[in-house]
Structure 1
Amino acid sequence: MQRNKQQREVPPLPNIMGTILQSIPKEAEVTKIEYEGPRIAIYTRNPRYLMEHNEVISNMVNVIKKRIVVRTEKTIRKTEEEAREILVQMLPKGD
């Protein structure tokens, strides 16, 4: 007995970038899309938008059948020193 599997048509690789760009709203402020092995990395200046509207990424994953990683644009990241200061302030003080 053979099972009839419903298979969605996966877009070819060149069209994946276009599919992603069409699916993501401008509010996400996507700056770059890169292939990282089996994953696709999406760089954004507004990661909060994609966190609050996670259905955008979920829908894309279902269409393109690839894992997606959301990364922040380098220009909005804190420096290592600033991050270290924030972490020190958050840690409980020892008696």
Structure 2
Amino acid sequence: VSEIEIYNTFTPDGDGINDNWGVPEIRYYTGARVQVFERSGKRLFYTEDPDQRWDGIFEGKEMPVGSYYWTLEVRETGEVRKGILNLLRK
């Protein structure tokens, strides 16, 4: 799990380039889940589906430019990774 490349920035501005964020490599693990949180700890995104990606929207609203944090948990191995995700808009 420590070898999975996880990008730290995305730009959901509708230009078709880098408009969403996810971790498709979780498809190779059993029970993997990805979550994104805002600073207050409120969860904005959750998935166990490697093809589901976050588009920077929560409850129908675009989230503001800023830093969010993510977690990757793999029940199969008990591993947990955490990091920062930057959301940028033009």
Same fold per superposition (TM over 0.5): no
Structure richer in strand, relative to its length:
2
When Rg is computed on C-alpha atoms for both structures, the one with the higher figure is 1
Tell me which protein shows more helix as a share of its residues: 1
Normalising by structure 2, what TM-score? 0.28
Query: Structure 1 length normalisation: TM-score?
Result: 0.27
